[in-house]
Structure formats: structure tokens, C-alpha cells
């Protein structure tokens, strides 16, 4: 039946055909870019202006190419594959973004045979507020990503690891070697020995230095959240506060390094999952069907006795062997007492630059000797904290033993224990607040005990020769004799 379009339409299909026709024409008229692909997402038609915008002087040059080769970031392949339209989208281009509409083209049997896309780049005026909002959000996102990337860079380099003792040089040598390799690194050592510092330095010295360094502190995250923290979750995958979905640390670290701190605290089920990811180099975020490739270098650290945890069945042996390829033991500070001086000077230098008013802190010789006599159970971190406190509370920039002693061992008998116990090669003198034997009853008593111990050590080191000892410790000979007598020191 023929229709007169001045009158009323007779059938729905006729209206539909007309509407479609008109819709397409409207789109075509208003859109400055029209683009058609076949079932393989290859360009079958593109208008001149759109082709020119993407660098094709003649549209013919674009025909037959994959859609992405003509329009980078094109999603026409997805439309062809799913048969579903993308009614409104923003296409990022190297110039301003475009508003695009993509529709599947179907044959009579409903099969998708191609897709048509329209770019509305001259009709953006109505969308200006939306666009400026979008641009602002986009700029903020870029800035945030930049500062995040900055934060994910290595904080320390090998140069930050102070120490020239044989043990420190060996650690640095091993860490430098580890930086050249790709296998996992396991950092073992007591608390405060510089494991985190080494992890940063290894990443910073590796080929992955320009990629992210992402840290997960296993001990700091509740077991129930760890899996999501590691592998991420699809939106709505779990009924937590986090319904938006979450990108896991593995994915964030892609191309870079994942630093697993306190790995000894990892719950057993997660150890199994981690092992699988290390073997397969891919994983699936929780509740998603997405496979994520994990090109991630692992650096793990723990202050726990990992072999003992393996023996106790609390750490999987297979994971331990997987991680235990390049193992670096950060030695406790008491085993490299010769580093204490350099460390203390470096730290004071640091504290001086941090201090306002151009302070320049100096350690007197007796203060240095006090530091060297203590066993530092908290290692370098404890040394730093001690100096920081002493500097903050000291009246003078020249810090002597008297000013320092209250802070060594947190003033809980640590200084005294350092004085009383043989200083090095001993188990750490852990201050026990409840132990009266370790508590000095007064300042004078503590200082006297320190002095006696210090002088005895100095005399022993000089074979009991008072003259040499006096010269070495910078004390007058007569004073030294008097003190030997006063303390009842046997030579």
C-alpha cells in the first residue's frame, strides 16, 4: 500500500522504515564523521572529513583496514562482536575528544553483519558543560596518576644504605646483583635492619625502575581483605563497603615490582593463591571472568624466622622455595658495630638539614662510644629514633654521652644493659621494664656504671697500658689513674 506522507501513515512497518531512514539521515547530516565496518571490523566506508581527521587524504586508503588501524581506540569491533550498540560514548583522540554513537548493522536473520559509527564533532555545543566537566575530571585523573606514580617510585637507592663494614658491603653487593636479575628476592633480617630500604634500592636499580613499585604490608591488612587487596575485585563481587570494585596490587604493579612486606604473616590459603600466580603469571580478580596477566617481580621481606615457620607448617614449603632464590640476610647492627659511626653521622646530617634555624648537630666522642657499646635490638631504626629524640631534647648541638644516655634503650635500662653486657656478638639486650637488675636506680649510678665499663674496655683494648689508653680516649693520664682507683678497676 502506498502512503501519502501528507496524510497519516497506514502501517507501523512503514513508519518504522521512514523513521529509520530519517534517523540515519539526521545522524549523517549532523555528524561530521560516518564510518561503516563489516563483520570483521574492517572499514567498508568512511566519509572524507572523518578520514582526513585521522590522516587519510583519500578515504579509499582506509578501506579494507582494521577499524583500529584507522581510528585508534575504536570500539567498532566490540559492537560487531556483541551485536549491541554503544549509543553514546566519548572517543579519545590525539586532538579533542569526540562524542560518538555506534550501532550494529543486522541482516534479515538478525545476524550482525557490520556496524556504523557516527562522530558528532560539530554538534558539541549542547554538551559543553558536560565536556568541560569531563576534561577537568580527566586532568585531575592525570595529575593524581602522576603523583601516585611518583609515590610508587623507589624512595631509596643503594647510596642510601650506609655502611662500610664487611657485612654491609656484602649485603650491598648481593642487592646490586639482585637488581640485575628477574627472579624473586627474599629479604631476611631482624626488625629495623633496612629490608625495606633494600627493596626500594633493588627496584630502583633494576630494569623495572620506571615502572611502579607497589608495597603490600601483609601484617597490616586483615586476613579477610588480603585477597581483594592482592588480586582486586569486580564491581559488586562482594558485599563490602567497596561495591565499586577494586584494582588489586598485583595489577597496579604490572610491569614493575611488588614488595610483599612481612610475608611471614600471610595466611596459608593466600599463600597457595600467591604461589599459583607466581607459577601461571596470571590471575582472575574476585568475581570477574577477566584474566589478568601479571608481569610482576616479587621482592618479599620478613623479620620472622621463615624456615622455622615452614617447619611448623605455618608457611608453605613450596612457596618458600619459590621465593628463596635470591636471599639476602640483612645483618643485625650489633654484628656490624663499625657501621654505627657512619650511620650516626649520616643520621645527624639528616636531622641537621631537617632542623629549622640551621642547626648542626655533632656527636662527642664519648657519645659515640656509648652508641657503639649498645646492642641495638631495634637495629638501625632504633639508632635513628634514639638520635632523633636526643637531638630534639638536647640543649646543645654538641651531644655528649650524658645527653645521649637517657635515650639509649629508650631509657628503660638499655643504656645500662649496654654498659653491663659484652657489647657485640651477644643476643640483643632487650630492655625488660619489670626486671630490676636492668634498671639503673639513679642517673649517677648509670653514668658511673657506664664509665667503669667504658674504661675497663678501653684499658683491655690497650693491653692495660694507662698511658696509651688515656691518649686513645682523650683523657688526662692523672684523671684516668684517679678513675681507675675510684672504680676499683683491675689492670
Ligand X SMILES: Nc1ncnc2c1ncn2[C@@H]1O[C@H](COP(=O)(O)OP(=O)(O)OP(=O)(O)O)[C@@H](O)[C@H]1O
Residues forming contacts to ligand X in the complex (CB under 6 A) are 160-163, 189, 191-197, 303, 330, 343, 380-381, 384
Minimum separation from the CB atom of position 487 to ligand X (A):
35
Q: Which residue is nearest to Mg ion (CB)?
A: 196
Residue 483 in 3-state DSSP? helix
Vertex 132, ends 127 and 136: CA angle to 5°? Answer: 150
Shortest separation between residue 363's beta carbon and ligand X, angstroms? 16
Which cell is 456 given? 675497663
Cβ-contact 113, 133 below 8 angstroms = no
Residues 185-204 that bind Mg ion (CB under 5 A): 196
CB of 196 or CB of 251, closer to Mg ion: 196
Q: How far is the CB of 261 from ligand X (least distance, A)?
A: 6
The distance of closest approach from Cβ of residue 34 to Mg ion in the complex, given in angstroms and rounded to an integer, is 59
User: H helices of 330-476, where?
Assistant: 340-354, 365-373, 379-393, 401-404, 414-420, 443-461, 466-473
Q: Is the dihedral of CA 217, 220, 225, 227 positive or negative?
A: positive
- 381 binding partner (options ligand X, Mg ion, none; Cβ < 5 to 8 Å by kind): ligand X
Our CB check for ligand X shows the closer of 259 and 454 to be 259
194 binds, among Mg ion, ligand X, none (CB under 5 to 8 A by kind): ligand X
By a kind-dependent CB cut-off of 5 to 8 A, residue 315 interacts, out of Mg ion, ligand X, none, with none
Q: Alpha carbon of 391 to those of 51, 279, 374, 398, 443: distances in Å?
A: 69, 50, 18, 9, 19
Q: Does 227 bind Mg ion (CB under 5 A)?
A: no
Asked if 79 and 103 count as a contact pair (C-beta separation under 8 A), the reply is yes
Which is closer to Mg ion, CB of 193 or CB of 469? 193
Nearer CB in complex with Mg ion: 300/416: 300
Pick 315 or 361: Cβ nearer Mg ion: 315
Partner in contact with 117, chosen from ligand X, Mg ion, none, beta carbon below 5 to 8 Å by kind: none
Distances in whole angstroms, Cα of residue 72 to Cα of each of 28, 62, 162, 461: 21, 13, 49, 76
Q: What does 426 interact with, of ligand X, Mg ion, none (CB < 5 to 8 A by kind)?
A: none
CB of 380 to ligand X, least distance (A): 3
CA–CA separation, 28 vs 50, rounded Å? 12
Q: Cα angle vertex 52, ends 50, 58, to 5°? A: 110
* Residues at the contact surface with Mg ion, assessed by CB under 5 A: 196
Amino acid at each position: 500500500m502506498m502512503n501519502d506522507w501528507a496524510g497519516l501513515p497506514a502501517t507501523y512497518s512503514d513508519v518504522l522504515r521512514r523513521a529509520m531512514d530519517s534517523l540515519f539521515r539526521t545522524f549523517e547530516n549532523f555528524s561530521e564523521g560516518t564510518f561503516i565496518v563489516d563483520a570483521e571490523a574492517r572499514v567498508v566506508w568512511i566519509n572524507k572529513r572523518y578520514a582526513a581527521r585521522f590522516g587519510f587524504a583519500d578515504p579509499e586508503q582506509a578501506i579494507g583496514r582494521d577499524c583500529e588501524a584507522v581510528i585508534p581506540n575504536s570500539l567498532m569491533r566490540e559492537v560487531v562482536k556483541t551485536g549491541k550498540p554503544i549509543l553514546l560514548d566519548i572517543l579519545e583522540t590525539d586532538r579533542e575528544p569526540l562524542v560518538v554513537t555506534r550501532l550494529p548493522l543486522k541482516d534479515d536473520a538478525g545476524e550482525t553483519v557490520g556496524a556504523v559509527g557516527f562522530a558528532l564533532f560539530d554538534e558539541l555545543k549542547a554538551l559543553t558543560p558536560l565536556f568541560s566537566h569531563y576534561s577537568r575530571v580527566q586532568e585531575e585523573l592525570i595529575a593524581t596518576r602522576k603523583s601516585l606514580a611518583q609515590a610508587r617510585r623507589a624512595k631509596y637507592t643503594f647510596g642510601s644504605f650506609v655502611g662500610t663494614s664487611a657485612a654491609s658491603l656484602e649485603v650491598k653487593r648481593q642487592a646490586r646483583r639482585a637488581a640485575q636479575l628477574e627472579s624473586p628476592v627474599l629479604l631476611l633480617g631482624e626488625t629495623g635492619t633496612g629490608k625495606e630500604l633494600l627493596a626500594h634500592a633493588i627496584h630502583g636499580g633494576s630494569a623495572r625502575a620506571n615502572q611502579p613499585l607497589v608495597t603490600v604490608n601483609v601484617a597490616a591488612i586483615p586476613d579477610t581483605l588480603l585477597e581483594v587487596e592482592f588480586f582486586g575485585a569486580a564491581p559488586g563481587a562482594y558485599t563490602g563497603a567497596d561495591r565499586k570494585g577494586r584494582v588489586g596490587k598485583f595489577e597496579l604493579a604490572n610491569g614493575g615490582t611488588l614488595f610483599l612486606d612481612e610475608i611471614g604473616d600471610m595466611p596459608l590459603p593466600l599463600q597457595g593463591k600467591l604461589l599459583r600466580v607466581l607459577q601461571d603469571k596470571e590471575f582472575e580478580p574476585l568475581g570477574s571472568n577477566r584474566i589478568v596477566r601479571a608481569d610482576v617481580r616479587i621482592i618479599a621481606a620478613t623479620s620472622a624466622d621463615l624456615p622455622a615457620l615452614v617447619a611448623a607448617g605455618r608457611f608453605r614449603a613450596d612457596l618458600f622455595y619459590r621465593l628463596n632464590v635470591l636471599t639476602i640476610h640483612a645483618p643485625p647492627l650489633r654484628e656490624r658495630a663499625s657501621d654505627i659511626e657512619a650511620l650516626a653521622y649520616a643520621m645527624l646530617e639528616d636531622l641537621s638539614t631537617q632542623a629549622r634555624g640551621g642547626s648542626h648537630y655533632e656527636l662527642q666522642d664519648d657519645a659515640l662510644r656509648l652508641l657503639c657499646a649498645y646492642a641495638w635490638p631495634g637495629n638501625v631504626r632504633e639508632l635513628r629514633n634514639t638520635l632523633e629524640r636526643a637531638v630534639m631534647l638536647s640543649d646543645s648541638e654538641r651531644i655528649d654521652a650524658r645527653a645521649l644516655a637517657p635515650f639509649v634503650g629508650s631509657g628503660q635500662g638499655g643504656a645500662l644493659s649496654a654498659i653491663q653486657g659484652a657489647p657485640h656478638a651477644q643476643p640483643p639486650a632487650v630492655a625488660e621494664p619489670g626486671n630490676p637488675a636492668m634498671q639503673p636506680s639513679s642517673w649517677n649510678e648509670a653514668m658511673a656504671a657506664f664509665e667503669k665499663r667504658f674504661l675497663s674496655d678501653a684499658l683491655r683494648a690497650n693491653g692495660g697500658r694507662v698511658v696509651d689508653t688515656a691518649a686513645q680516649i682523650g683523657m688526662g693520664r692523672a684523671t684516668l689513674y684517679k678513675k681507675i682507683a675510684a672504680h676499683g678497676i683491675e689492670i
